Structure formats: C-alpha cells, structure tokens
C-alpha cells in the first residue's frame, strides 16, 4: 500500500462515468445551494454576512437587491432532508420562489436557538417559529410595497417572489423592495400574521432533495473532505476500556514511519465522561494512511482502570436479577399485587437487549485550525454549539473565539451530537500549531462509541376468566445516559422512563411500573429513538404473548389493551408529571385514537386477516414516541437455508403536520432497515471492559440480500402539531419482527438479536 494512489471521491465517481449531470436519479431540485469553496473550504456563512446590502429581518433571512433570498438552515443535514424542508417552510411563508432561494448552512451559534439535530425536534420544535421568521420578512416587504404605492398593506399580497396589489394590477419583486424594506422597523414576532395553511404551496408535498445532485456526483462535502493548506492528519490510540489511561509509550517505531510528524499523548479525562475525549496517544502525520501505520507501530501499556472487569454477558444476569426484584415505583394505578393474586391466569416474561453501536457510514472526523486569533473547526456534527463550547473550554478560550462550520453528515443517529472527536482535533492543532484533522476509523467508531444502553425488563400480566387483562407490572433496569454526565447515577431519569414506560396508554385497572438500579461501565449515549428501543421491544412482544395465551387475534388484543379513543390523563397513567418530549399534554396529548388508527390501518394494508399464508407469517407492533404514533407489520418467511427472512413490511405513521412527505416516507423506510439491523444482528459485547466487535464483519448491518422486497409506507393526513419522524419509526420494528418469527416458527424471541438464537 506504500504506493497507494489518492483518488478523491468525485474523481472516483467520474471514473465510473458518474460525472456531474450524468446521473440524476430522478432528482431535479430547483433550489440553489451555496457551494463550498475549494480551499479553505467554507461550508457555512451567517446570513448577516451575505454579500452586499439588503433586508435582514432576522438571522435566518436575507433578501438581496438582485432578488436572491438567502435562508439559513440551522440544523445539520444527515440524510433526513432538513436542508430541503425547513428553508421551504420559511420560503412558503414569505411567498418566495425557491428558484431564487439560496440555502446557507449555519455555523454553530446560540443566536439560532437550539441547533442540536437530535430527538426528532427539527420540525416539531421550530415549525411555528420558522414560519414567523418568514412572515416577518413578508410583512416588511408588503409594507414597503404599500408605502411605495401609497396603498394599504392589507390590500397587498406576497407570492411568486413579489408583492402584488391586485386592485391596480401592480407588482414589484422582492429584490426591488429589499433596500426600502430594510429601512422599516422590524415587527415583533407576536405582531405578524401567519398565512392560512392552504397558502403554504409546497409544504406537505413532495419536495426535492436539495443536496441530491451533490451526493450522487461526489461534490457533497463531509467532515473528512475539507482541506486546508499545511493540514496534518491524526489518528488516536484510545484506552481500550473506558476510564483507562496509558502508562507507557514507546513511539520510536511509529516515528520511523514515513510521513509521521509527531506522537502526542492526550490528557486523561477527569470525572464522568461527558463530552471529553477518552485520552490516549495521537499519531500525527501528512496523510491518514501514514498516521494509521504509525499508530499500528506504537508500543503501549495501559492501566484499564475501574471498568477492567466489565463483562457484558455477566452483566446481563445482574440486570435480570435487578428486574426480578421490586424496584423504585415510578407509575401506579390501582393495586397490582391484589389483582395478580386473584387473577385467573398469570403471565410473566423477561426481555433483554444488548448494547448497540451507532455505526454510521461516515466515522467521526473533525478539522481544527488553532491560531492566535482563535480556533476554526470544520466537522460533521449534529451539535455545533456543544462542539463550540467544548472546544472553548478545552482550549481556555471564550466561545466567541471558536467558529464551528457544519459539513454534511454521512449518518449520525445521535453519535455526532457528542463532540469528543472535535475536541481531540482542537487539542492537537494547538500542539502542532497547524491545521489538524482527527480521523476516526470504522474500528475506532465501533469500539469507542457512546453506546446505547443494555437493558433487562420483567413484565407480568393478570388475566380474568374472560381473558381480559386486569393487572400489568413492568420493571425495567438499564444504565442511564445521566451516568455519562454525573457520578454515582444508578437509576433512570424521568425522561428515559417517559419513553415507553410512563407514557404508554393502558386501559387496565391496575398498573405498576418500577425501575431497578443499574451501574454504567461504558459511555452511554442516545441512539436513534433512545429508550423506546428496548421498552417497545418488551411491551410489544409481551402484548403478543398475551394474545397467544388467550388464543386471540393480536390486533384485537392491542386495541383492547390501549383502550377506547381518548386523551390519556396523568391520573390515568398513574404519574404526577410526564416529560412528554418537552411538550405539554395540551399541545401534544397522548391521543389513543391516533394509536388505534395506525394499528387498524397497518393491519388493513398488510392483509392481516389472512394471517399466515403461503409460507409467510405476520407480526404486529405499535408505539407512540417523540409525539408520533407508528404501527408496523412485518412479514417473515424461511429462506433457502431455512433461516428467517423479512420479506415485506408495512408502516403507518401519524406524525401530525408534515412539511416534506418524500423525506417522511424515506425516513420511515430507513427506520425499518435500521430496526432490522438491530433486531437481526445488533449486539456490542464487552470482555475485560473492552469491546469485542471491531467492524461491520462482526457488527453487521442489514445488507441488500436481507432487505425486504417491499416496504410499504402510509402517512396519515393530519392537521395536528408536527411530531417527530426520524426516530418514531424505529421502536415497533424489532417487536413486529419477533412476533412474526413466533407466528412462523413457534420460537419466542425475548432477547435480541435474532442471530443469537441462530434464526438468521
């Protein structure tokens, strides 16, 4: 490999005949993208810094005299289409023509509000606020036109990138109004009027993927694509065990590798992990390959620290022991013990989900340039403001001296909300007095992730003589994400329990939920859908077990257990308060009717009544998460080897108001494949405190031959407030598959993944 040829991605695509314009995949967006410069690559700019004068009613919009409207996207693009959705919402509210709109990616800055692209918040949290930013610009343009014509502003309308006075058949373009509008006072958000939804011409439709052409032609700029003159590349040998530290470094052989410039020991983290780098030893070189070769030549000794004995298989038994005993009561309705004691039939089951890795296609990468003036960062991050503040803290700088430019993300799923890798780059750039890109390898990413927590759950149900469920007991134990940020954490937070335990509507007179203690031995982080993953798996599977024990249709049992259409109250849920994903129950009620609708519709679409037919079997699961309701039916068959294969899937979602229907469907389709990866293969295991898995060969994702021949998606039309989309599609997938496997094979899967049981 010493004579390896460096072939940039765009050159590689060109060599395959995929040069610009030769492959469109049916995507023909009308949106102009602010293309990054070659070097140094600037991938973001603030709207106030737009070229020339113009109207700047807020930090999101700039109207130039030439008619170009620049709209800032403050969230990170990682395939969910946020750059293709949020700017359209603003443009529609303005009346702007997308053919004259330039979308600008925001740097990390608190003036944009919350920029952490996580928790399915991009639309649901900012829908009204972004409409107001567009409405503010529209109001100023309309007022400017009215003053110019000497007419009432109420007689003017904004559409098609111009303001019209229909009575006199006059119109004037946005560009021609920009300077006049800029002289007007900016109205307060409360004083602007939003359009009727019927006037939002593009919102809710099939919007083109703005970045599509750049992605298929290789022009898209990701974290590892940015180049600066004199840039160096670093890879890091991190402690194999969280909490470990290096005790001896022999770098003599590493420094003999051609291209290696220096070996640097990183600081040992203090206290809880938080967003600190793990420490270890960095090898800095001219190229990524030289840095990797140098790292391989290091001779290191480690003190593995307090987590050196962590064994995930043994810990599984610790968790199961925790949930088989009474825990902290977190939800209580009626008297579960009395109801269980007098039940005609009693069911119980234990469930286990292992640690999971994010494993995005693009491993973390960050380029930092520390100078006397401050620090400039280019990185694929979901959380640019945290990157900014953590770098400032690590370098001892004021945050105003740190600039974070956001590139495209090749997947994130929550991993790139944690900026430890960004801090590594900043620390090494300061040492080297040169730009340094820290590049994580696939092995680095899988072995040093912020892992999804491992969990155990115990469920019990009491049934009366007719088979109706009269008692429900749910115990859950898992290391909390809070342990990553605070010492001594042994219990789950309300927010974690509010993801499927506290908020799941149950039309059962006696309900109790308990939380058992669990200590973390690795960095625990949020992964797509977070704690809904394991809670939905256990509850969705257990409802299917209840149906089988009764000899009843699972669909009927699902509808019976969640009960009649209603908005579930705190009293009914048996809790004093509910996190509800940061929303009020008034704005986002737990509407059982919506959950019932998606269950009824998905079973209708899938031909549920036919059940097992033609060698296939169906499984059903549903879940409410991130303020949306989703139901999934999975069809499984046996393949030529006799193994289980998911051959078809149906998804029905009620996510409230939708901006971009095409991206909603694609995210739900992606959730099925993501959920299949977790259900079929996903398992991170630890021996001696270190991660056993290293790459996709031993942490496999669902591959093309495993993909269903069809994934059918239907989105329920709704005028309700926007809910989440990126995360809610995932939780019902694993239990739907597991329930289908039982229907086909008679094997009840209570522990993921299916590969553990030899089923795939």
pLDDT digit string (tens) for 557-590?
999 999 999 999 999 999 999 999 999 999 999 9
Each residue of 700-742: pLDDT tens digit? 999 999 999 999 999 999 999 999 999 999 999 999 999 999 9
| 28 pLDDT tier (thresholds 50, 70, 90) | very low
Q: Please give the backbone phi and psi of residue 531, each rounded to the nearest 5 degrees, phi first.
A: -75, -10
Task: Render the burial of 441-458: b for 16+ CB within 10 Å, e for the rest.
Answer: beebbbbbbbbbbbbbbb
What local confidence, expressed as pLDDT, does residue 47 receive? Answer: 52
**What CATH number does residue 54 fall under?**
3.30.365.10
What local confidence, expressed as pLDDT, does residue 429 receive? Answer: 98
CA distance 237 to 244: 12
Q: Range with the lowest mean pLDDT among 43-52, 123-132, 221-230?
A: 43-52
Pick the more confident residue, 190 or 169: 169
Contact predicate 592/563, CB 8 Å: yes
What local confidence, expressed as pLDDT, does residue 51 receive? Answer: 60
The residue behind tokens 């780059």 is 425
Domain count, the chain: 3
What local confidence, expressed as pLDDT, does residue 189 receive? Answer: 84
Residues 425 and 490 both lie in one domain: no
Helical H segments across 551-625, by residue range: 554-562, 570-573, 592-605
Each residue of 447-463: pLDDT tens digit? 999 999 999 999 999 99
Residues 557 and 488 both lie in one domain: yes
The arithmetic mean of pLDDT across residues 600-618, rounded, is 92
Q: Please give the backbone phi and psi of residue 456, each rounded to the nearest 5 degrees, phi first.
A: -130, 145
CA distance 248 to 142: 69
CB-based contacts of 495: which residues, under 8 Å, 6+ apart? Answer: 579
Maximal CA-CA distance, the chain: 83
Domain membership of residue 390 (yes or no) is yes
Whether the pLDDT of residue 757 is over 60: the answer is yes
Average pLDDT, the chain: 93
Nearest to 521, CA basis, from 660, 380, 691: 691
Residues 718 and 572 both lie in one domain: yes
DSSP string, 112-141: G------TT-TTTTTHHHHHHHHHHHHHHH
| 45 pLDDT tier (thresholds 50, 70, 90) | very low
Contact predicate 644/759, CB 8 Å: yes
Q: How many CA atoms lie within 13 A of 499 on its CB side?
A: 25
Each residue of 348-363: pLDDT tens digit? 999 999 999 999 999 9
Residues 634 and 732 both lie in one domain: yes
CB-based contacts of 262: which residues, under 8 Å, 6+ apart? Answer: 255, 283, 284, 431, 432
- Report pTM: 0.93
β partners of residue 126: none
Contact predicate 63/54, CB 8 Å: yes
Pick the more confident residue, 656 or 16: 656
**Considering 386, 412, 439, which residue would you say is the last residue of a domain?**
439
| 18 pLDDT tier (thresholds 50, 70, 90) | very low
Residues 123 and 231 both lie in one domain: no
The arithmetic mean of pLDDT across residues 637-658, rounded, is 96
What local confidence, expressed as pLDDT, does residue 8 receive? Answer: 44
What local confidence, expressed as pLDDT, does residue 613 receive? Answer: 78
What local confidence, expressed as pLDDT, does residue 7 receive? Answer: 36
The residue behind tokens 């269950």 is 599
Each residue of 256-284: pLDDT tens digit? 999 999 999 999 999 999 999 999 999 99
Residues 404 and 458 both lie in one domain: no
Domain membership of residue 4 (yes or no) is no
Residues 657 and 725 both lie in one domain: yes
The arithmetic mean of pLDDT across residues 419-427, rounded, is 98
Residues 154 and 291 both lie in one domain: no
Domain membership of residue 20 (yes or no) is no
Q: What share of the chain is helix, strand, coil (3-state, %, to 5)?
A: 35, 25, 45
Residues 190 and 247 both lie in one domain: no
**Considering 189, 217, 245, which residue would you say is the last residue of a domain?**
217
Other beta carbons within 10 angstroms of residue 257's beta carbon come to: 18
CB-based contacts of 612: which residues, under 8 Å, 6+ apart? Answer: 618, 743, 744
Domain membership of residue 17 (yes or no) is no
Residues 386 and 502 both lie in one domain: no
Residues 752 and 630 both lie in one domain: yes
Nearest to 478, CA basis, from 528, 504, 514, 444: 514
Domain membership of residue 19 (yes or no) is no
What local confidence, expressed as pLDDT, does residue 610 receive? Answer: 87
**Considering 439, 469, 484, which residue would you say is the last residue of a domain?**
439
Whether the pLDDT of residue 11 is over 90: the answer is no
Whether the pLDDT of residue 647 is over 60: the answer is yes
Q: Range with the lowest mean pLDDT among 5-19, 201-215, 738-752?
A: 5-19
Whether the pLDDT of residue 33 is over 80: the answer is no
What local confidence, expressed as pLDDT, does residue 243 receive? Answer: 97
Residues 338 and 258 both lie in one domain: no
CB-based contacts of 590: which residues, under 8 Å, 6+ apart? Answer: 503, 505, 567, 568, 573, 580, 624
Q: What is the SS3 string spanning 429-469?
A: HHHHCCCEEEECCHHHHHHCCCEECCEEEEEEEEECCCCCE
Domain membership of residue 685 (yes or no) is yes
DSSP state letter for 475: E
Q: Range with the lowest mean pLDDT among 7-11, 153-157, 170-174, 657-661?
A: 7-11
Domain that holds residue 627: 312-356+450-757
Contact predicate 382/76, CB 8 Å: yes
CA distance 96 to 74: 19
Domain membership of residue 5 (yes or no) is no
Judge if the upstream peptide bond of residue 40 is cis by omega within 30 degrees of 0. yes
Whether the pLDDT of residue 49 is over 90: the answer is no
| 50 pLDDT tier (thresholds 50, 70, 90) | low
CB-based contacts of 138: which residues, under 8 Å, 6+ apart? Answer: 93, 94, 95, 158, 192
């Amino acid at each position: 490999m010493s004579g390896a040829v460096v072939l940039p991605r765009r050159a590689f695509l060109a060599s395959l005949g995929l040069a610009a314009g030769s492959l469109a995949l049916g995507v023909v967006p009308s949106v102009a993208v602010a293309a990054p410069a070659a070097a140094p690559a600037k991938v973001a700019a603030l709207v106030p810094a737009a070229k020339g004068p113009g109207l700047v009613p807020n930090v999101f919009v700039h109207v130039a005299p030439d008619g170009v409207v620049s709209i800032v996207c403050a969230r990170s693009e990682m395939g969910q289409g946020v750059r293709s959705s949020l700017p359209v919402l603003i443009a529609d509210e303005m009346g702007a023509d997308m053919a004259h709109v330039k979308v600008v990616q925001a740097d990390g800055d608190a003036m944009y509000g919350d920029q952490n692209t996580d928790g399915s918040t991009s639309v649901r949290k900012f829908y009204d606020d972004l409409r107001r930013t567009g409405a503010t610009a529209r109001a100023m343009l309309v007022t400017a036109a009215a003053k110019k014509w000497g007419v009432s502003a109420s007689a003017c309308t904004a559409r098609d990138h111009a303001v019209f006075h229909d009575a006199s058949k006059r119109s004037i373009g946005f560009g021609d109004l920009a300077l006049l509008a800029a002289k007007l006072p900016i109205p307060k958000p409360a004083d602007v009027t939003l359009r009727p939804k019927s006037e939002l011409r593009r919102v809710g439709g099939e919007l083109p993927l703005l970045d599509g052409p750049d992605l298929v032609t290789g022009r898209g700029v990701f974290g590892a694509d940015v180049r600066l003159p004199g840039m160096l590349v670093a890879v890091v040998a991190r402690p194999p065990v969280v909490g470990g530290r290096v005790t001896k470094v022999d770098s003599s052989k590493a420094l003999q590798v051609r291209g290696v410039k220096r070996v640097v020991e990183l600081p040992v983290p203090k206290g809880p992990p938080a967003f600190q780098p793990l420490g270890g030893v960095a090898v800095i070189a001219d190229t990524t390959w030289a840095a990797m070769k140098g790292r391989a030549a290091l001779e290191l000794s480690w003190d593995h620290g307090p987590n050196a004995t962590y064994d995930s298989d043994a810990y599984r038994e610790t968790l199961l022991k925790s949930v088989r005993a009474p825990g902290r009561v977190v939800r209580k309705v009626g008297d579960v013990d009395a109801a269980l004691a007098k039940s005609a039939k009693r069911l119980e089951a234990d469930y286990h989900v292992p640690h999971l890795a994010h494993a995005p296609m693009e491993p973390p990468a960050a380029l930092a340039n520390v100078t006397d003036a401050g620090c400039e960062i280019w990185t694929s991050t979901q959380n640019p403001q945290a990157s900014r503040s953590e770098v400032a803290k690590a370098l001892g700088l004021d945050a105003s001296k740190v600039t974070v430019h956001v590139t495209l993300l090749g997947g994130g799923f929550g991993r790139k909300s944690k900026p430890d890798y960004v801090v590594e780059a900043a620390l090494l750039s300061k040492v080297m007095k040169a730009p340094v890109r820290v590049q994580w390898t696939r092995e680095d990413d899988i072995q040093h992730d912020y892992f999804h927590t491992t969990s155990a759950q115990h469920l019990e149900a009491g049934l009366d003589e007719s088979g109706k469920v009269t008692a429900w007991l749910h115990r859950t134990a898992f290391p909390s994400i809070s342990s990553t940020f605070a010492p001594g954490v042994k219990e789950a937070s309300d927010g974690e329990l509010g993801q499927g335990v506290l908020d799941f509507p149950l039309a059962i007179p006696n309900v109790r939920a308990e939380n058992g203690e669990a200590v973390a031995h690795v960095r625990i982080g949020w992964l797509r859908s977070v704690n809904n993953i394991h809670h939905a798996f256990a509850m969705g599977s257990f409802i299917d077990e209840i149906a089988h024990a009764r000899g009843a249709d699972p669909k009927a049992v699902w509808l019976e257990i969640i009960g009649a259409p209603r908005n579930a109250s705190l009293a009914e849920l048996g809790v004093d308060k509910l996190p509800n994903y940061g929303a009020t129950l008034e704005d986002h009620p737990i509407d059982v009717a919506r959950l019932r609708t998606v269950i009824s519709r998905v079973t209708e679409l899938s031909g549920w009544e036919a059940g097992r037919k033609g060698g296939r079997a169906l499984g059903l699961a549903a879940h409410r998460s991130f303020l949306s309701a989703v139901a999934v039916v999975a069809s499984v068959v046996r393949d030529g080897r006799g193994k289980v294969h998911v051959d078809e899937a149906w998804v029905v979602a009620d996510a409230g108001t939708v901006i971009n229907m095409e991206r909603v469907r694609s995210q739900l389709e992606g959730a099925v494949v993501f959920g299949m990866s977790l259900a079929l293969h996903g398992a991170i295991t630890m021996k001696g405190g270190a991660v056993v898995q290293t790459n996709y060969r031993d942490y496999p994702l669902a591959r093309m031959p495993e993909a269903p021949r069809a994934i059918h998606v239907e989105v329920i039309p709704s005028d309700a407030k926007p809910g989440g989309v990126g995360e809610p599609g995932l939780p019902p997938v694993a239990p739907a598959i597991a329930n289908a496997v039982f229907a086909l094979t008679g094997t009840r899967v209570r522990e993921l993944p299916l590969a553990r049981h030899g089923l795939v």
